[in-house]
Amino acid sequence: MEAKIYNQKGEEKGKLDLPEKFFGLPWNGDLVHQVMTSMLSNSRSPIAHTKDRSEVRGGGKKPWRQKGTGRARHGSSRSPIWVGGGVTHGPRSDRNFSRKINKKMKAKAFFTVLSQKLRDGEILFAEAVNFDKPRTKDAQTYLSGLAKIKGYEKLVYKTGKRAILALPEKDENLEKSFRNIKSASLMEVSNINPLDLLNYKYLVVLNPEKSLEALSARAK
């Protein structure tokens, strides 16, 4: 498998051999769905919280004696059937939504999505770029250069999640330059997950040779 490498002006500068085991996997919707829903579930942080009868203030004294009043027996005025009582089966902030994801499942789902994005023409390989200092204007100019490539014109759109720029290693100047561009996100190859790939339209792989080395480390 071959892919073209472009420079920051959108000009073709070479070609790259892509490993079949990373970019040639068939689509597996069931696997991707299972991993995606599990990751979304793991990211949940419950906020809503209702108090049950043990947490509501008061109700320690028995409202009236057990027998002889003609009324129904009650042990506490904070029972769920009383006004001001606890809530039964309400939302709880201590509820655990986490799900286990096998390491191999997550890795295969990642490479499955990666393969599909390549088939759909949503992965772009670009030469390494270095900024002397952090500048948002330089980042916008860089994206505008890549947007000249046919099929990637929407890279410069300011709305929506447009592109992940994948780096082989951390680069502080690039990180700060792209920080204010909401439609693009800069990530290290080792930190990208299947959900990130599905949330963003394009994947721009910077410094492809080194990035593929980092990708190989993820498959081990």
Domains present along the chain, CATH in parentheses: 2-44+98-218 (3.40.1370.10), 46-96 (no CATH)
pLDDT, tens digit, 9 for 90 and up, residues 70-82: 999 999 999 999 9
pLDDT, tens digit, 9 for 90 and up, residues 120-172: 999 999 998 888 899 999 999 999 999 999 889 988 888 889 999 999 999 89
Residue holding tokens 């490498």? 5
pLDDT, tens digit, 9 for 90 and up, residues 52-69: 999 999 988 999 999 999
| Whole-structure pTM value | 0.83
pLDDT, tens digit, 9 for 90 and up, residues 182-199: 999 999 999 999 999 999
Res. 10: pLDDT tops 90:
no
pLDDT at site 2: 87
Answer yes or no: are the C-beta atoms of 127 and 5 closer than 8 Å.
yes
Answer yes or no: are the C-beta atoms of 106 and 218 closer than 8 Å.
no
**Mean pLDDT throughout 88-99?**
93
Angle at 181 between CA 197 and CA 176, to 5 degrees: 100
**Percent of the chain with pLDDT strictly greater than 70:** 100
Alpha helices in 129-219 (DSSP H): 136-146, 172-178, 194-199, 208-218
